[in-house]
């Protein structure tokens, strides 16, 4: 295959298209909301948040986010950013065991990144989930991506930014684990272990009831929509799983 072509990759996400040009180490994200105001606001938010977070992370070893290169707010809005090092964290988690020694180190870096983000913006990292993180196995760097506010992520409870962000992470984890495709994974123990370890980083600073409420709210957002069969599956199997999972998590990872 032409090496130039193999260096190009497109990913269709929730907010739009992501085009990766690995030979130039550039990523172009195109915001495809049919609502022009929302599409432009999403692109502007990505530029503002990534730029400020990038500055705040200067000199912090092992934690990174994309550097913005250019932006164009004509329709459809586009943002060009540098490609962050590493590969999707979920890929790594799908092939290691829960006792992998890198997991506690990754949790500390994710905790540090969340700490810096929430202190800087004084608001939750709304789409805080492992899908939005890359892991560079060569030096252990974690890169945070995606600063757009996902549908249904606004915070209506008196949760702190850290509680709300962790709640979203836990809710996303419930959703990911209950998805039928997850059965194809050889193991999801590493995924669970990392999530517990990240929550544990904030032990004593988060209220279990508020975190659980946010997690239930987040997973309910993801369980909603699609066919009647899909909704039924998530409303029954999904809700049961979320409840049991939260009980175990708050018992094992959070001091009451």
Please give the residue ranges that form the binding site for ligand ATP (CB under 6 A).
Answer: 11, 13-16, 18, 20, 27, 29, 66, 81, 83-84, 88, 131-132, 134, 145-146, 148
Neighbours of 39 (CB within 10 A): 20
Of residues 55 and 236, the one with the C-beta less far from ligand ATP: 55
Neighbours of 152 (CB within 10 A): 14
Of residues 132 and 250, the one with the C-beta less far from Mg ion: 132
Of residues 123 and 136, the one with the C-beta less far from ligand ATP: 136
Count of residues near Mg ion by CB under 5 A: 2
Supply 25's token pair.
């180490």
28 binds Mg ion per the rule CB under 5 A: no
> Is the peptide bond between 76 and the residue preceding it cis, with omega within 30 degrees of 0?
yes
Of residues 146 and 176, the one with the C-beta less far from Mg ion: 146
What is the rounded radius of gyration, in angstroms, for the C-alpha atoms of the chain?
A: 18
127 close to 146: Cβ distance less than 8 angstroms? yes
146 binds Mg ion per the rule CB under 5 A: yes
143 binds Mg ion per the rule CB under 5 A: no
Instruction: Name all contacts of 93-98 with Cβ < 8 Å and 24+ positions apart.
Output: 93/130, 93/188, 93/190, 93/191, 93/194, 94/185, 94/186, 94/187, 94/188, 94/190, 94/191, 95/186, 96/190, 97/187, 97/189, 97/190, 98/187, 98/189, 98/190, 98/192, 98/193
Taking CB under 5 A as the binding criterion, the range among 21-29, 65-73, 98-106, 139-147 that sits at the site for Mg ion is 139-147
Closest chain position to ligand ATP (CB): 13
Of residues 146 and 163, the one with the C-beta less far from Mg ion: 146
> Which partner in ligand ATP, Mg ion, none is near 81 (CB below 5 to 8 A by kind)?
ligand ATP
List binders of Mg ion among 118-137 (CB under 5 A).
Answer: 132
| Residues of this chain that bind Mg ion (CB under 5 A) | 132, 146
């Amino acid at each position: 295959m032409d090496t130039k072509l193999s260096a190009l990759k497109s990913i269709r996400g929730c907010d739009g298209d992501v085009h990766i040009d690995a030979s130039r180490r550039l990523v172009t994200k195109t915001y495809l909301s049919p609502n022009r105001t929302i599409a432009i606001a999403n692109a502007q938010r990505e530029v503002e948040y990534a730029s400020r977070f990038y500055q705040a992370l200067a000199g912090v070893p092992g934690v990174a986010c994309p550097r913005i290169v250019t932006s164009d707010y004509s329709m459809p809005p586009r943002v060009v950013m540098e490609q962050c090092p590493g590969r999707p964290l979920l890929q790594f988690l799908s092939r290691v065991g829960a006792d992998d020694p890198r997991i506690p180190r990754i949790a500390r870096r994710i905790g540090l990144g969340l700490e810096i983000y929430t202190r800087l913006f004084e608001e939750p990292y709304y789409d805080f989930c492992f899908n939005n993180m890359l892991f560079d196995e060569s030096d252990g760097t974690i890169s945070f991506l995606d600063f757009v506010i996902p549908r249904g992520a606004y915070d209506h409870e008196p949760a702190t930014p850290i509680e709300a962000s962790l709640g979203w992470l836990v809710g996303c984890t419930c959703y990911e684990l209950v998805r039928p495709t997850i059965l194809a994974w050889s193991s999801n123990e590493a995924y669970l272990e990392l999530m517990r370890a990240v929550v544990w980083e904030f032990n004593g600073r988060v209220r279990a009831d508020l975190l659980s409420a946010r997690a239930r709210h987040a997973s309910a957002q993801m369980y909603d929509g699609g066919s009647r069969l899909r909704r039924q599956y998530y409303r029954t199997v999904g809700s049961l799983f979320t409840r049991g999972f939260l009980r175990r998590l708050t018992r094992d990872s959070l001091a009451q």
